[in-house]
Amino acid sequence: MSLVLLRDIAKSSHSVVGMLADISRLKAAQAKIEELAYHDALTGLPNRSLAHDRLAQAMLRSERTGMPFALLYIDLDRFKVINDRYGHEAGDKVLVETSHRMRSAIRQTDTLARLGGDEFIVVAEDVEMPQGALRVADELLQALSPPCAVADSLVACGASIGIAIYPQDAHDQDALLHAADQAMYQAKVAGGQRYRMFDANMLQVLLPGLELEHELRRALLHKEFVLHYQIQVDTTGAIVGAEALRRWRAGGTPSEVC
């Protein structure tokens, strides 16, 4: 609402003109834009952007109070199989259902966010470590253990959960997410529908693979891969084709990689 004062000098009088504008639609549109910017459109959960913000806030509170908190990294088991067999619409229904279950299994003060695909995180503060974090993981596994109804069938879902503690396991956000992710991977390798606490030894197991990845990236940068064709002949000696081989001249010594 805005008001304008009008003066009539000849009559020495004053009048006020008011104007009203309905901005409720504008406010609603702004709220919707903010909702879409920070929440997942499918599940309504905080999205990756808001998850990073909540995680940063939890780290600041932990530094101020000296109290640790737990980050749980959750990956649904067999979700790709459900997507491939029943289609993406069925997969979306499973994501919505499992999101509701997880939200009901945690406290209102905990943050549950969807990072993307079938990956979620829970930020659990003000819990006793590590027992409190393990209880949260147990509650989540119990909530996800019943099968989901998919296309007139009951499909077992379950989840693999990795747990990392701040600041015990990492001192920055990326490292904390990586630690929880690696613990989740170990839970999945062990068969799924279980949790694993992060252990520094998990990174040692991954080092050989990381070193190879680094060397491959360096080889691509320095153009150490060369293409060769190996002739194929039949029993008569006639050329019938060729096999393409990519060789890696690592350190000047060629080695066949595919």
Tokens (6 digits) for 10: 């000849």
Closest CA to 130 of 92, 174, 169: 169
- pLDDT tens for residues 50-86? 999 999 999 999 999 999 999 999 999 999 999 999 9
pTM as predicted: 0.71
N residues, the chain = 258
Q: Which residues contact 62 (CB under 8 A, 6 or more apart)?
A: 68, 69, 125, 166, 167
10 Å CB burial of residue 128 (0-12, 13-18, 19+) is exposed
The answer to whether residues 254 and 247 touch, using CB atoms and an 8 Å cutoff, is yes
Q: Which pLDDT value is given to residue 6?
A: 58
Closest CA to 98 of 143, 138, 52: 143
CA distances from 219 to 164, 222, 223, 247 (A): 34, 5, 6, 11
**Is 118 part of the annotated catalytic residue set?**
yes
Superfamily designation of domain 36-200: Reverse transcriptase/Diguanylate cyclase domain (3.30.70.270)
Q: Which pLDDT value is given to residue 121?
A: 98
Give the residues of the chain that fall short of pLDDT 70: 1-24, 26-36, 204-214, 217, 250-258
| Among 77, 118, 169, 181, the one annotated catalytic | 118
Q: Does the CA dihedral 169-175-180-184 come out positive or negative?
A: negative
Q: How far apart are CA 171 and CA 174, in angstroms?
A: 9
Phi, psi of 142 (to 5 degrees): -65, -40
Q: At what angle do helices 88-105 and 131-144 cross, to 10 degrees?
A: 140
Q: Which pLDDT value is given to residue 130?
A: 93
Q: Which pLDDT value is given to residue 30?
A: 62
Q: Which residues contact 42 (CB under 8 A, 6 or more apart)?
A: 92, 95, 96, 114
Q: How far apart are CA 48 and CA 116, in angstroms?
A: 7
Q: Which residues contact 176 (CB under 8 A, 6 or more apart)?
A: 55, 59, 71, 164, 166, 169, 170
